[in-house]
Amino acid sequence: MVKEIAVVGCGGWGTALATVLAHNGYVVKMWSFSEEEVKNVNKYRENRRLLKGVKLPESITVSTDLKEVLEGKDFIVLANPSQHQREVLSKAKDYIDPSAIIVNVAKGIENNTLLRMSQVIKEVIPECRNIATLSGPSHAEEVGRKIPTVVVVASENRGILPIIQSTFMNEYFRVYTNEDIIGVELGGSLKNIIALAAGICDGLGFGDNTKGALLTRGLAEMTRLGMKLGAKKETFSGISGMGDLITTCMSKHSRNRYVGEQIGKGKKLKKIIEEMVMVVEGVKTTLSAYELGKKVEVELPITVEIYKVLFEDKDPFVAVKDLMVREAKSEFYWL
């Protein structure tokens, strides 16, 4: 049984998961790139910038020293934003034991390479074999306050799944297992694009009819791309697919939904991002998914319109109209 765990990334999600692990009796060492953040978290026992109000137990410490945090650990949680994962891993790889269990919790697809996070880890540290991804409807604000939450952990190495499951699981944080890491990673990433669209609908003043249609067709779009890339269809009706999609599209905590709402109200993306403290994964993921769709020749109408709204300054109302007047189709034409 692992006694000491490394969490690389001191954002809201990394901090929330550290509290879960500390609650389960583990000593947790966290890494942050920010000296100021390390000083404040260790002093106040709270991540006041990203998870205000959640007190951290003494078994959690934070450092800017990757070697100190990682060396000798056989269980590592990677909680960096997806577009920074490669950069941080490149600095950390000399301190990571190739036999360690590595659990990615970032939700995104790397720009340019179009790789999922487990693929990025394999590319940077090819000798690592115990790689998994944990995903699902899990806002840090709720997990940090011990609100009942259900997630799923996936890996190609089925042998490590029970270890990860038992390490995280407790009375308020339930963990299921899944061997379809492609589907779990894509579900957690692509739903952020649909959440941007959901926010746009809210900002434009549309109603429940629109939101219900968006979630349904968004899930179909996620599934269509996922199956083309080797994922299992059923994964998208599960925790990391439908579960995370509903939560992210509906929640007041959803950063992606919030950004979409502001765009729907007429604000520009650059201004919105400048005013935010936390990373909005869906914006960069839209770029990757748009390119992936073209690369593997999969029709992604919602993603394409969100891309045009975000990066070509298309009027959101026109984007919705263009989706509504597309060529008539059978509901399940893509199966």
Catalytic residue numbers, as ranges: 191
Tokens of 283: 């914006």
d(CA 85, CA 87): 6
Tokens of 126: 């090819």
Transcribe 294-333 into DSSP letters. Answer: HHHT---HHHHHHHHHHHS---HHHHHHHHHTSPP--TTT
d(CA 6, CA 74): 9
CA atoms within 13 A on the CB side of 225: 28
d(CA 270, CA 281): 14
d(CA 88, CA 83): 10
